[in-house]
Amino acid sequence: MGKGINRLTVKGAAALKKHGLYADGGGLYLRVKDSGSRSWVFLFQWRGKLREKGFGPCQVISLDAARTKRDEARQLLAEGQDPLAPKKSDVSESFGEVATALIRDLEVGWRNPKHRAQWRSTLQGYCAPIWSSPVDAIETADVVDILRPIWSVKPETASRLRARIERVLDAAKVRGFRTGENPARWRGHLQLILPGRTRGAGVRHHPAMPYDEVPDFVKGLKTRVSTAARALEFLIHTAARTNEVIGARWNEIDTDAKTWTVPADRMKSKREHVVPLTEGALTVLRAMTVVGTDADAPVFPSRDGKPLSNMSMEMLLRRMGCDDFTVHGFRSSFRDWTGDKTDFPREIAEAALAHSVGSAVERAYRRGSALAKRRQLMEAWTAFVAGS
């Protein structure tokens, strides 16, 4: 027998009759037992322990086949994988199987049965053409074929559907069933294929959570211990914009007057905006005082003491399985609730959103009384959000 690797020969191995282990090199051994049985085994070290993987009996597995199996096992070790770990099936799971598993994992954090049903119905209904297809075979053309028929006629549904398909394909990649780029990705991909929203085609709305789902969402939000969660809760209670909230400073807050004065440079209208603070909003602020209340310090700081990133709340929505809605969409939720469920005048609702309504003279005339009326509106909204 030669030295190093591939020491045995077919004839020499057949002549070995005595009980023992005979090395072929590279971890491959011929095991001969007193009973006369002969088999190939691969011995290797895994995390400090000696382990053994059987390759089969000699009468079935030839010396060349055993060496091939040895080389495959050594390659797995070189890649940091355990040769004894179960081998993944060569058959990919279907899109439907991955989608079903994802919904099952996500619904642990969903309190609203309607949200769960919407995920299932949109994916099963619109994705029927790819539901049984191997998830690793889904391509851009498949996604476009599903989205294009509803892209212009049902823009919000199409937007939510695209986000859910993207989430399913991301989950497939994490689980090892796909590789490469996500064909449902919007930025730099589908946005170059599907028509954008033009002014002539109407206003593009931010996907908004239906207002009757907001109370349950806020209940779940309260269980989250993070600055992003408190910022989003404050945003919902105040119907403010993202940059207005993440840029909030303690010197803008007047707890005695129960107001938050947003400076003009952070307002879309470039006019100072006074927001009436309800008990729900004040409760959030009290929770944030433990971080510090220096006058010029951000109310919602990141770990480095700077204001939160403008993506922090969007990422929180994603972690909560609500990535088909947007943070800005909560303003629409508030406005829809006001129009459907209250008798507050339209101009008060628009003023609460810092929208300009009427002429400059009309706005100046209403300036004194609008705050009191807006406070009544925001208190009613907070009561609705709290479920009372």
SS (H, E, C) the chain: CCCCCCCCCHHHHHCCCCCEEEEEECCEEEEECCCCCEEEEEEEEECCEEEEEEEEECCCCCHHHHHHHHHHHHHHHHCCCCCCCCCCCCCCCEHHHHHHHHHHHHHHHCCCHHHHHHHHHHHHHHCHHHCCCEHHHCCHHHHHHHHHHHHCCCHHHHHHHHHHHHHHHHHHHHCCCCCCCCCCCCCCCHHHCCCCCCHHHCCCCCCCCCHHHHHHHHHHHHCCCCHHHHHHHHHHHHCCCHHHHHCCEHHHEECCCCEEEECHHHCCCCCCEEEECCHHHHHHHHHHCCCCCCCCCECCECCCCCECCCCHHHHHHHHCCCCCCCCCHHHHHHHHHHHHHCCCCHHHHHHHCCCCCCCHHHHHHHHHHHHHHHHHHHHHHHHHHCCC
CATH of 211-385, one of 3.40.50.2300, 3.90.1170.50, 1.10.443.10, 3.40.50.720: 1.10.443.10
Please give the model's pTM, rounded to 2 decimal places: 0.53
Q: Where in the chain is the domain with CATH 3.30.160.390?
A: 10-78
- Domain 95-201 indexed as CATH 1.20.210.10: no
Q: Are strands 273-276 and 259-262 parallel, antiparallel or unpaired?
A: antiparallel
Q: What is the pLDDT of residue 24?
A: 94
Q: What is the pLDDT of residue 109?
A: 63
Q: Are strands 20-25 and 28-32 parallel, antiparallel or unpaired?
A: antiparallel
- Angle at alpha carbon of residue 100, lines to 169 and 219, rounded to 5°: 95
| CATH domain 10-78 topology | Double Stranded RNA Binding Domain (3.30.160)
Tens digits of pLDDT across the chain (388 residues)? 446 789 999 999 999 999 999 999 999 999 999 888 899 999 999 888 899 999 988 988 899 999 999 999 999 898 888 888 755 545 568 999 999 998 888 777 666 666 677 788 889 999 999 999 899 889 998 999 999 998 888 887 888 899 899 999 998 888 888 888 899 988 888 888 887 654 334 444 567 888 888 998 898 899 898 999 999 999 999 999 999 999 999 999 999 999 999 999 999 888 899 999 999 999 999 999 887 778 889 999 998 888 999 899 999 988 887 777 889 999 999 999 998 889 999 889 989 998 865 544 345 445 554 889 999 999 999 999 998 6
Residue pair 44/83 in contact by the 8 Å Cβ criterion:
yes
Q: What is the pLDDT of residue 216?
A: 87
Counting every residue written for the chain, the total comes to 388
The token pair at 218 is: 């806020």
Q: Where in the chain is the domain with CATH 1.10.150.130?
A: 95-201
> How many beta carbons lie within 10 A of that of residue 244, not counting itself?
20
